[in-house]
Amino acid sequence: MTSEHPSPIGLLVIDKPLHKTSMHVCANVRARLRRGGSPKRIKVGHGGTLDPLATGVLVILIGKATKLQDRIMVGQKRYLAGIDLAHTSRTDDREGPIEPIECDPVSESSIRAVLPDFIGTIMQRPPAFSAMKIEGRRAYHLARNAEHAGDMPSLKPRPVRIDTIDIVSYEWPILTLDISCGKGTYIRSLARDLGRTLGAGGMLSSLVRTSVGPFSIEDARTLDDLPESLTQHDLLPIPQQILDQSASDSSESSGSSDSPASAS
């Protein structure tokens, strides 16, 4: 005999809190689902990692919806990014250590002049402290081990797509940008590379993901908003456009022996 209910299927759009990992959010949701009667092995995943120092839209997939993870991750993402042009960091964000850069304030016109260079399909080197793999090992593990030796790992540049970059506000040294981009783009790397192009510092001071595909921050709930016990009734259905895209991809792949390469 068991009191477990059938495994729920659906998703949640969560506004990830600061200092929490994406997997922490998954674990939190899984615990609430279990309290609601879900099987102990209920599958819970997410559609694209957010760093602990970032907040915003994190799509949580539950049950059989986890099979659509790639469809969520491939969608366009939008970010509100604060960039500090007077400092740099080994992690390219506030996790540090942070170093001040001696440079004159950069004019807004100078920033506008170089932004077009970062739009389109560009080559971008991921941060040394990232989840990218180097010979089977996570880059951040290698970077932590190499910090004292002074020999930080260097990841190879790879193509990413940035669709739009708009200046929201600028008061030296903090530049706030609204960025739309494709899968695999590191906003930390954009902050680093933009600063270098301007002859200044460049590190991410804040980051909010405002949308992932059809999912917007306006529709997101905080963990505190969720009931302590989650059931099927509390979950959102998979949007039809995601289901349609998944069906289209399956139809296309059935006619070819080549599998598409995946990127994290």
Instruction: Kindly report the CATH number assigned to the domain that includes residue 156.
Output: 3.30.2350.10
Residue 243 confidence (pLDDT): 78
b/e burial code for range 205-220 (CB count within 10 A of at least 16 → b) = bbbbbbbbbebebeeb
Residue 250 confidence (pLDDT): 45
Which has more pLDDT, 57 or 149?
A: 57
**What are the φ and ψ backbone dihedral angles of 226, each rounded to 5 degrees?**
-75, 145
Q: Is residue 68 part of a domain?
A: yes
pLDDT in tens, 125-155: 988 755 554 445 444 444 445 554 455 556 7
87 and 192 assigned to the same domain: yes
Confidence tier at 54 by pLDDT (50, 70, 90): very high
201 and 101 assigned to the same domain: yes
20 and 86 assigned to the same domain: no
State the total domains in the chain.
Answer: 2
Q: Is residue 17 part of a domain?
A: yes
Average pLDDT over residues 15-37: 97
pLDDT in tens, 197-235: 999 999 999 999 999 999 999 999 999 999 999 999 999
Average pLDDT over residues 26-43: 96
CB atoms within 10 A of CB 119: 15
What is the rounded CA–CA span in Å between residue 84 and residue 204?
A: 6
* Residue 104 a catalytic site member: no
90 and 189 assigned to the same domain: yes
139 and 48 assigned to the same domain: no
Instruction: Find the catalytic residue in 15, 51, 93, 193.
Output: 51
109 and 132 assigned to the same domain: yes
91 and 196 assigned to the same domain: yes
Q: Strands, E, within the chain: which ranges?
A: 10-16, 44-46, 55-62, 77-84, 87-89, 98-100, 120-124, 133-134, 137-138, 158-171, 174-181, 203-212, 215-216
Predicted structure pTM score: 0.84
Residue 139 confidence (pLDDT): 43
pLDDT in tens, 151-172: 555 678 999 999 999 999 999 9
Q: Look up the domain containing 146 and give its range.
A: 77-211
